[in-house]
Amino acid sequence: MATTFNDIQMTEFKRLVARYPEGKQKSALLPALHLAQESFGGWLSTEALDYVASLLQIEPIEVYEVATFYSMYNLKPVGKFVFEVCQTGPCMISGSDNIIDYIKKTLDIKPGETTKDGMFTLKLVECLGACGYAPMMQVGKIYKEHLTKEKVDSIIAEYRAQATNN
């Protein structure tokens, strides 16, 4: 996987940096890391972090300390689709435990693991602001809400089909 932005990604990077005053380009770090993660296979390698540092003209350590602080940046390779299932209070009282158990069983992986075919990673996360539509999980940029076992089955099938079609 390349760790440099292509032309389209570079245009987006420049749009992000242009939001901030002259000399305050470091402010674009969080959005730039999101862009890098999306561009470089869903995770951020040390090379990717160093690349972002060079683009923003800041020290690599300034990028590392941010990338390790926030929960959305993956510092290890992940599957093609990451199931981030909420386990906090409101989801828990609405049955998230059953959903998590069902996903573990169906995909035969534990939280933090990726299926052997590299398709799915399971992550347990804290509150994502979907408490009224619990239980829920995030997959990429999409929220999947009101989860039931049947719905989990159809979501897995949906992503498998998506992977086959691409």
Partner 1 sequence: MGVKLLLDKANVPGIRTYEVYRREGGYRSVEKALKQMTTDEIVEEVKKSGLRGRGGAGFPTGMKWSFIAKPEGVPRHLVCNADESEPGTFKDRYLMEFLPHLLIEGLIVSSFALGSNDTYIYIRGEYAWITNILEQAIEEAKAAGFLGKNILGTGFDCNIHVQRGGGAYICGEETALIESLEGKRGNPRIKPPFPAIQGLWMRPTVVNNVETLAAVVPIINMGGEEYAKIGVGKSTGTKLISACGNINKPGVYEIDMTITVEEFIYSDEYCGGIKDGKKLKACIPGGSSVPILPANLLLTTAKGEPRYMNYESLSDGGFATGSMLGSGGFIVLDEDQCIVKNTYTLARFYRHESCGQCSPCREGTGWMEKILQKIETGKGEMSDIDLLWDIQRKIEGNTICPLGDAASWPVAAAIRHFRDEFEWHVKNPELSQTSNFGLQHYADPIHVPA
- Binding positions for partner 1, rule: CB under 8 A: 19, 21, 24, 26-31, 33-34, 56, 58, 62, 65-66, 69-73, 87-90, 92-94, 126-134, 138, 141-143
Burial class of residue 12, CB neighbours in 10 A (0-12, 13-18, 19+): middle
Q: Closest by alpha carbon to 35, among 62, 56, 59?
A: 56
Of the two residues 142 and 164, which places its CB atom closer to partner 1 in the complex?
A: 142
Pair 70, 109: CB distance under 8 Å? no
Q: Closest by alpha carbon to 28, among 40, 43, 8, 14?
A: 14
Of the two residues 108 and 127, which places its CB atom closer to partner 1 in the complex?
A: 127
Closest separation in Å from C-beta 88 to partner 1: 5
Closest separation in Å from C-beta 127 to partner 1: 4
Closest separation in Å from C-beta 139 to partner 1: 11
Of the two residues 52 and 107, which places its CB atom closer to partner 1 in the complex?
A: 52
Residue 122, SS3? Answer: strand
Of the two residues 43 and 133, which places its CB atom closer to partner 1 in the complex?
A: 133
Burial class of residue 27, CB neighbours in 10 A (0-12, 13-18, 19+): middle
Q: State how beta strands 142-144 and 137-139 pair.
A: antiparallel
Closest separation in Å from C-beta 133 to partner 1: 7
